[in-house]
C-alpha cells in the first residue's frame, strides 16, 4: 500500500479569515495491475484513512516514461507505444467513503481478437478531496462580508500502472554505467545508474547496493520500473554524505532485483568502484 502525495491546492474567495487546509488520506492496494489472457481481471482496494468523509474519482490515462524515470501524460501514441486505455474497463468511477471505510475497484481487459502480441500499458488515476472543503466554501459564500479569504483544498492523486501482456514476452537489462552528480539537497549526492533494456516487456524491481561482500545491502530503493518502449533509464539514487563517504574508494555491487512475481530473480548487476 502507498499513500497519496499532494498534487495541487485550489484557491477560493469567500468571507473572513484564512481557513485551515482540508486533506484526505488514502491507502490503495495493490499499486500495480498486471493482466494477461489467462488472468484478465483483478480488484483494487481503496481505504479512506482520513478522519472525514471523502470523494474519489477514478479515470484512465496514457503516460510516457522519460529518461529520468518521471512520467508525462500523452494524448497521441508514437509508433512504438502500445497503450491499454481502449480495452481496459473499471468500475466504479466515483467513490464516496466514510472514515475507515473501504471500496473495491474492479479492473478488467476486454480483448480484441486482432490484438497483436506485446505489452500494453495505461494508468489508472485516483483523485480524492474531503467533502468538507466544498461545504465550507458554500457556507462562507453565504456571508455578506467583503473581506478576502483563501481556502486551501488539498487534492490528492495517485496513478497506478495497468499492464496487459499478450504473447510470450521477455526482457534483458544491463546496468551500463554509474556516475555521481551534485544534488539540490544539501548534504547529499546523487548516484545515477543507467539501465539499458532489450526485449518486448517492461521490468520492475528494487535497487540494492552491496559493499565488501556483505550479505545485507547498505542502500535499498524500491519500485524501479523500466517501461516499454523505453530502452534506457537513468535511476537517481540520492546518497546522504555519510553513505557516500563510506562507499568512496570501495568496490560496490549494484543489483537490480525483480519484484515482479511473474519474472523473479536478479535482472542486472554491476560491480564498480565509487570515486
Beta-sheet strand order (sheet of 171-182): 171-182, 188-199, 232-240
Residue 92 CA to residue 88 CA, distance in Å, equals 13
User: How high is the mean pLDDT in each 10-residue block of the chain (275 residues)?
Assistant: 34 30 70 94 94 91 96 91 96 94 96 91 88 50 53 70 95 95 92 97 96 87 96 96 90 94 90 89
Same domain as 159, residue 248: no
How many structural domains are present in the chain? 2
Residue 38 CA to residue 107 CA, distance in Å, equals 14
Same domain as 216, residue 98: no
Same domain as 230, residue 260: yes
Same domain as 155, residue 22: yes
pLDDT at position 147 is 54
Same domain as 186, residue 204: yes
pLDDT at position 8 is 30
**Among 132, 166, 200, residue at a domain's last position:** 166
Q: What are the backbone angles phi and psi of residue 231, rounded to the nearest 5°?
A: -105, -5
Give the range of the structural domain holding residue 135, as residue numbers without chain letter.
2-166
pLDDT at position 132 is 60
CATH number for position 65: 2.60.40.10
Residue 171 CA to residue 176 CA, distance in Å, equals 15
**Among 166, 194, 213, residue at a domain's last position:** 166
Residue whose entry in the numeric block shows the C-alpha cell 478488467? 108
Residue 162 CA to residue 196 CA, distance in Å, equals 22
pLDDT at position 6 is 36
Same domain as 49, residue 140: yes
pLDDT at position 20 is 33
The dihedral through the CA atoms of 202, 208, 211, 212 has a sign that is: negative
pLDDT at position 144 is 55
Entry pTM? 0.81
Q: Which of 89, 115, 91 is nearest to 103 (CA)?
A: 91
Same domain as 156, residue 113: yes
Query: Which class for 93: exposed (0-12), middle (13-18), buried (19 or more C-beta within 10 A)?
Result: exposed
Same domain as 237, residue 197: yes
Same domain as 154, residue 31: yes
Same domain as 132, residue 6: yes
C-alpha cell at 191: 548516484
Which residues, in sequence order, are CB contacts of 252 under 8 Å at separation 6+? 209, 210, 211, 271, 272, 273, 274
Same domain as 266, residue 197: yes
C-alpha cell at 225: 520500473
**Among 126, 147, 166, residue at a domain's last position:** 166
Amino acid at each position: 500500500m502507498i499513500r497519496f502525495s499532494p498534487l495541487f491546492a485550489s484557491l477560493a474567495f469567500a468571507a473572513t479569515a484564512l481557513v485551515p487546509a482540508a486533506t484526505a488520506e488514502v491507502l490503495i492496494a495493490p499499486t500495480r495491475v498486471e493482466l494477461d489472457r489467462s488472468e484478465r481481471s483483478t480488484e483494487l482496494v481503496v481505504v479512506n484513512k482520513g478522519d472525514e468523509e471523502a470523494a474519489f474519482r477514478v479515470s484512465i490515462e496514457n503516460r510516457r516514461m522519460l529518461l529520468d524515470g518521471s512520467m508525462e501524460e500523452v494524448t497521441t501514441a508514437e509508433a512504438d507505444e502500445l497503450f491499454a486505455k481502449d480495452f481496459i474497463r473499471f468500475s466504479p468511477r466515483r467513490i464516496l467513503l466514510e472514515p475507515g471505510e473501504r471500496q473495491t475497484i474492479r479492473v478488467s481487459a476486454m480483448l480484441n481478437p486482432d490484438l497483436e502480441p506485446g505489452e500494453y500499458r495505461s494508468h489508472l488515476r485516483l483523485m480524492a478531496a474531503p467533502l468538507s472543503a466544498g461545504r465550507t466554501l458554500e457556507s462562507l459564500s453565504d456571508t455578506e462580508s467583503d473581506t478576502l479569504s483563501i481556502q486551501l483544498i488539498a487534492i490528492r492523486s495517485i496513478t497506478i500502472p495497468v499492464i496487459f501482456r499478450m504473447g510470450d514476452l521477455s526482457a534483458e537489462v544491463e546496468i551500463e554505467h554509474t556516475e555521481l552528480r551534485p544534488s539540490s539537497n544539501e548534504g547529499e549526492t546523487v548516484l545515477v545508474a543507467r539501465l539499458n533494456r532489450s526485449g518486448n516487456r517492461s521490468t520492475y524491481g528494487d535497487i540494492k547496493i552491496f559493499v565488501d561482500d556483505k550479505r545485507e545491502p547498505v542502500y535499498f530503493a524500491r519500485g524501479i520500473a523500466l517501461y516499454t518502449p523505453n530502452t534506457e533509464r537513468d535511476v537517481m539514487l540520492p546518497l546522504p554524505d555519510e553513505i557516500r563517504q563510506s562507499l568512496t574508494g570501495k568496490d560496490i555491487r549494484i543489483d537490480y532485483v525483480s519484484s515482479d512475481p511473474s519474472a523473479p530473480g536478479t535482472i542486472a548487476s554491476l560491480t564498480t568502484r565509487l570515486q
